[in-house]
Amino acid sequence: MAATIKAGIVGGAGYAGGELLRLLFLHPHVELAFVQSRSQAGKLVSSSHPDLLGETELTFSAGADAPVDVLFLCAGHGEAAKFLAENKVLAATKIIDLSQDFRWNEGTNTATVEVDGRSFVYGLPELQRERIKGAQHIANPGCFATGIQLALLPLAQQNILTSEVHVSGITGSTGAGQSLSATSHFSWRTENVSTYKVMEHQHLREIKRSLLSLQPDNQPDIHFIPYRGPFARGIFITAYLKSELSLEEAQALYSDYYKDHPFTIVTEQNPDLKQVVNTNKCVLHLQKHGEMLVITSIIDNLLKGAAGQAVQNMNLVFGLDESTGLKLKAAAF
């Protein structure tokens, strides 16, 4: 049996922090040393995450300086970099950051980012599992970025992702975090649909960088329409592009690419989002219409798109089986 991993969380009162807590409480090899929250310091963790009632008497801490084996940063975009600038973290502590602060920088086409003497490996196991295993610091991918990359990696690895890619994707409300805004109000969002950041979603940067790391000589345009949908959890993505592969060839390529990746599953059934809600899975489905190859990719934005993938990365970094603590009962309904 593996030794116990001591873990700390920075920013534990938000959505990603809450999911991480739920997972780590169930993880057989993790002991939680602290859960920090600026806004909730001193309060019960179960007051912010009432589903944890009966499972923990832990309170949020103000500080995050107890020594731990792994530190998860759920502090939010910009806040993660700030935290590391202002706080000392022991050199031996592994860091897994869920913000976008260390996912990408200008002028590199390998999926590793250097910041202030730290080297952050981009934590998409299906792209670079071996590099993650040896990493000291992990930049956990964005939710849309995860779903879209998993739809495209097998093509890029074969250097055949060469024509324009057209992507539409719909995200649930938890993707925007728990801050209150006009578009997060129930009265507005229920039974409603809208788009945002049309053609300009920030995740396109990390997606393009990853694809470039696989096929440095080809960089097709990616056009992306992100939708907000009237549901809480999950991302449903459709991508299509001109491809010379037959359906059977494409299915064989994708099945082969993902055959050793436990969470990414290629299916011939037409998928629906709730298949993956409350799991760490990505389900992929392929269709061919004329010369267009159409790829559907669905994930739970808070799990495979955030906290679940963070735990998957932790498992890899600490030499555990990749699925440890991540065999989750789907909500299904």
Under rule CB under 8 A, residue 58 binds a copy of itself: no
Q: Are strands 282-289 and 292-299 parallel, antiparallel or unpaired?
A: antiparallel
Size of the site for a copy of itself (CB under 8 A): 81
How far apart are CB 87 and a copy of itself at their closest, in Å?
28
Strand partners, 138: 96, 121
Under rule CB under 8 A, residue 218 binds a copy of itself: no
Find the helix or strand (DSSP H, E) in which 120 lies: strand 118-122
Residue 18 or 214 having the CB closest to a copy of itself: 18
Q: Which of 12, 19, 121, 317 binds a copy of itself (CB under 8 A)?
A: 19
Span 83-122, contacts to a copy of itself by CB under 8 A:
none
Span 37-56, contacts to a copy of itself by CB under 8 A:
46-47, 49-54
Under rule CB under 8 A, residue 174 binds a copy of itself: yes
Q: Which of 15, 34, 102, 122 binds a copy of itself (CB under 8 A)?
A: 15
Span 272-291, contacts to a copy of itself by CB under 8 A:
272-279, 281, 283, 287, 289-290
Tokens of 236: 């449903």
Under rule CB under 8 A, residue 172 binds a copy of itself: yes
Neighbours of 312 (CB within 10 A): 30
CA distance 330 to 116: 40
Say if residues 40 and 61 touch (Cβ distance below 8 Å): no
Tokens of 239: 């991508």
How long, in residues, is the chain? 333
Q: Which of 138, 143, 152, 239 is catalytic?
A: 143
The residues, any chain, with a CB within 8 Å of residue 9's CB and separated by 6 or more, are: 17, 20, 21, 24, 32, 34, 35, 36, 71, 72, 74
| DSSP three-state, residue 95 | strand
Residue 2 or 199 having the CB closest to a copy of itself: 199
Under rule CB under 8 A, residue 6 binds a copy of itself: no
How far apart are CB 153 and a copy of itself at their closest, in Å?
18
Under rule CB under 8 A, residue 1 binds a copy of itself: no
Residue 4 or 192 having the CB closest to a copy of itself: 192
CA angle (264 as vertex; 204, 107 as ends), nearest 5: 30
Give me the residue label for tokens 């990616």.
222
Q: Which of 96, 229, 311, 312 binds a copy of itself (CB under 8 A)?
A: 229
Region of 131 please: left (phi>0), alpha (psi -120 to 50) or beta.
Answer: alpha
- The amino acid occupying position 112 is T
Under rule CB under 8 A, residue 222 binds a copy of itself: no
Find the helix or strand (DSSP H, E) in which 157 lies: helix 143-157
How far apart are CB 255 and a copy of itself at their closest, in Å?
12
Span 183-202, contacts to a copy of itself by CB under 8 A:
184-196, 198-200
143 is annotated as an active-site residue: yes
Binding mask 294-323 for a copy of itself (x = CB under 8 A): x-x-----x---------------------
CA distance 56 to 152: 41
How far apart are CB 35 and a copy of itself at their closest, in Å?
16
Q: Hey, which residues are catalytic here?
A: 143
